[in-house]
A and B are shown apart, each in its own frame.
Chain A
Amino acid sequence: MEQNTEKDGGHGGAGPMAMLSGVLGKGGFDQLRIVTLLFLAIFILYSVVLPGFFSVGNLLTLMRTVSVLGILGLGMAIVVIGRGIDLSMIATLAVPSALVLTLAAKGFGVVPAVGIGLMLAISIGVLNGILVAYAEIPSLFTTLAVGIGVAGIGQIGLFDYEIVSWPPALDGIAWIGRGSFYGVPYSVLAFGVAAIVIGIFLRRTRYGMFVYASGDNPGATRLTGIPLRPVLVMQYVISSCVAFFAGMVLAASSASMDTRIFNLTWIYDVILVVVLGGIGLSGGRGGVANVIIGTLLIGTIMNGLTIMNVSFEMQNLVRGLVLLVAVLADSIINPRNEETAQQGDI
């Protein structure tokens, strides 16, 4: 398992072809490979069976529908690699971006409005980080509570309505979620840019390595002199900033920010993408490639089911089954034992 992780490391910023050759060329099967094969199987099946699936237009639409989910997955991945979880991401997506829309509508100007939103997002991250790193409250409870708190702050008075519409004052930056650049929708580009930035951060910077170290073995990390607690705080600040970015993309894209989404099942979708892609909740494993493949798999399944006009309940059922199959396959092929199990496994 350790060795596989090392190999996966090589795929961090690599393209789909390199990933494909990695899948076919090496003997070991970890979850990334299983999910990649599953994705390819479903993709090829749809391309053959569904007329209109394999077209540039539809594939871009597919990417566009999951781009916000993918961006959120990237932020979540950093925290999960550091052996935490950030359940407050959806609240951080909704409330600061809705605040930006509200402030801009009241005539604050684009830069101050976005600045205040970003400050709010960062302070949510700092709060999460300090509670997890210094107060040592488990991230599950910390971020759950902080998320509910942030959503509550939004509800009790920041906004007139729970659904805040995109004000004309912000039209100057509406392109981050609307329109396309040489045919590629901006929201897909936003996902791509976020993937590259976070890929470089995780694989090419010292702090990125610290994230892996803190997730793999926090005790050893501290012993080697790495400032463990500040690194933990940094992870939550990054995930909050990523969530804020995703929120602005989503708000621009749907021309409104629906702060009710905190109450919906989005956060499970984000965890689904991360876990499905093969980033273990026990920390220290995986990277950007895992998130991309997890996102693509979910996007492909949902796109095909929508084309086939399958009902909502059935779509949820299929999504749940796919996750179950992926996790089952992983635990059959890579059974857990005393050696591979880590403290902190969920």
Chain B
Amino acid sequence: MKKLLKLGMTAMLGALIGTAQLAHAQKSMDDPLRDDYYANFEGRKVVFVPVFMGLDLTEGWSKIMASQAEELGYDYEVRNSNFNTAAGAQTLTSLISEKPDVIVVQNPDVQSYAKLLRQAEKAGIRVIQLNMKTNYQTTGFVGADVELIGEKQAEAAVAKCSNEANPGKVLVLAGPPTSPFSAYMLKGYENVLNASPGMNLVSVQSTGDYESSKAKSITQVVLQQHPDLCAILGVWDNTDVGTAAALQESGKADQVLVTTSGGGGELACKGLHEGMWQYYVSYDVPGQGRDLNALIMAALQDKNPVGSTKTVLYTPLVTYTPETLGDERCWSLDTLR
């Protein structure tokens, strides 16, 4: 009898514990981070000041930023400076008094906005510089290591041109002289070319504001002077469409190696397929967009005084050549999420 009671008690206890466990499993737990996290974004505002909308780069970044803003419920706005540095400076000046929480800015050159960005940070606005930076470091920078792009392009040129058959003549088609994409890229070219004795930098010319028609005419003139040109180091895919047109017209598209860089959009693959360029360094806009969104989230959560943390995220570069190409590697606005 005693034994039976003991057994019954044990069974009851077991059942009790079992029920308790079941009840425990049914009652959910709060994620302690979640509420604070989402509360961070309420009523906050992020403003993007690009050099120019309507380019694959800026439209791509903006789409990625806008979709995160919609998801997390903060305001996102674009103030296009329309390729006009003065207009951009004016936008920044008015933003300093409007006080959004974060400004994402793409700088037309290394100097113009520097003072304004400093003022903005002093006014308590976190500034993230995107792909084109000034010489003043703000809360964040997301973008390519332009010097490294230059080095990669120059290495491709050295690989083709430094052998004995070719004299190794190289043309550099840069962007606007004060743009970070001209100054730092040229540094990268020089790092490699100066260390390669077989190479001869015959001409360094600016394409103005990345004008493809200018790239075309410079290429034509230089080809006249140097019919044995071996490689062209271009600054941006959209510009080098003109470079490629000049080579195709002169019938030297096979002789001259064109290297260029860009965001890795549709044009990158189209250019490789059509032989416009044979070496393409992509700074991967979808990847940059993700980095950018991460920095925006960090900036919106940061409770420390503005300027106390500074983060630089150089984008991992991806190199496209005709051998490594598959269409799926190039993005379009529709494939961006």
> Which 3 A-B pairs have CB atoms at the shortest separation, nearest pair first?
A162-B54, A312-B206, A65-B217
Tell me if A253 counts as interface (CB < 8 A to partner B).
Answer: yes
Chain B contacts of A61 at CB under 8 A? 217, 220-221, 224
Residues of B within 8 A of A334 (CB): none
Task: Select the stretch in A3-11, A254-262, A285-293 that faces chain B.
Answer: A254-262
List of A residues within 8 angstroms of B56 by Cβ: 161
List residues 122-175 of chain A with CB under 8 A from any CB of chain B: 155, 159-163, 165
What B residues does A303 contact at CB under 8 A?
A: 221
A64 to B213, CA, bound (A): 11
Q: Are B52 and A254 in contact (CB under 8 A)?
A: no
Whether, in the assembled complex, B244 has its beta carbon less than 8 Å from a beta carbon of chain A, the answer is yes
> In the assembly, what is the distance between CA of A160 and CA of B82, in Å?
16
In the bound complex, residues from chain B placing their C-beta under 8 Å from that of A264 are: 83, 208-209, 211
Contacts of B309 in A (CB 8 A): none
Rounded to whole angstroms, the CA-CA distance of A62 and B221 in the bound complex is 7
CA distance A52 to B209 in the complex (A): 28
Residues of A contacting B213 in the complex (Cβ-Cβ under 8 angstroms): 68, 250, 253-254, 258, 261
Return B167 CB to nearest CB of chain A, in Å.
Answer: 16
With contacts A65-B217, A258-B238 known, is A161 near B205, CB below 8 A?
Answer: no
Given contacts A161-B59, A264-B211, A312-B208, contact A254 B224 (CB under 8 A): no
- The complex places the Cα of A258 from the Cα of B208 at a distance, in Å, of 13
B52 touches A260 (CB 8 A): yes
Instruction: List 14 other contacts, CB 8 Å, given A159-B54, A303-B221.
Output: A61-B220, A68-B213, A155-B53, A161-B55, A178-B248, A253-B245, A254-B242, A255-B212, A256-B212, A260-B52, A263-B52, A263-B84, A309-B205, A311-B177
Is A178's CB under 8 angstroms from B249's CB? yes
A57 at the interface (CB under 8 A from B): yes
Kindly list chain A residues whose C-beta atoms are within 8 Å of the C-beta of B248: 178
Given A61-B220, A307-B225, A165:B205 Cβ within 8 A: no
Chain B nearest CB from A243 CB (Å) reads 15
CA distance A264 to B59 in the complex (A): 21
User: Which residues from chain B contact A306 at a C-beta distance below 8 Å?
Assistant: 203, 205, 217-218, 221-222
Are the CB atoms of A162 and B177 closer together than 8 Å? no
Interface status of A340 (Cβ within 8 A of chain B): no
B204 within 8 A of A: yes
Q: Within 8 Å CB of B133, what residues of A? A: none
Q: Chain B contact residues (Cβ within 8 angstroms of A): what range?
A: 35 or more
Please, which residue of chain A has its CB at the minimum distance from the CB of B244?
A255
B154-173: which have CB < 8 Å to A?
A: none
**Interface check A179, CB cutoff 8 A:** yes
**How far does the alpha carbon of A231 sit from the alpha carbon of B73 in the complex, in Å?**
58
Establish whether residues A155 and B54, one from each chain, have CB atoms under 8 Å apart when the complex forms: yes
* Chain B residues, CB < 8 A from A260: 52, 54, 83, 209
Residues of A within 8 Å of B217, CB to CB, are 61, 64-65, 306
Q: Does A343 touch B at the CB level, under 8 Å? A: no
Residues of chain B within 8 A of A52, CB atoms compared: 224-225
15 contacts between A and B (CB under 8 A): A58-B221, A155-B54, A161-B54, A162-B52, A163-B238, A178-B249, A254-B213, A254-B242, A255-B241, A258-B213, A260-B52, A264-B211, A306-B205, A309-B205, A311-B177
A55 at the interface (CB under 8 A from B): yes
CB distance from B174 to the nearest CB of A (A): 8
Distance between Cα atoms of A62 and B223 in the complex (Å): 12
- Residues of the A chain whose Cβ atoms lie less than 8 Å from the Cβ of B241: 163, 165, 254-256
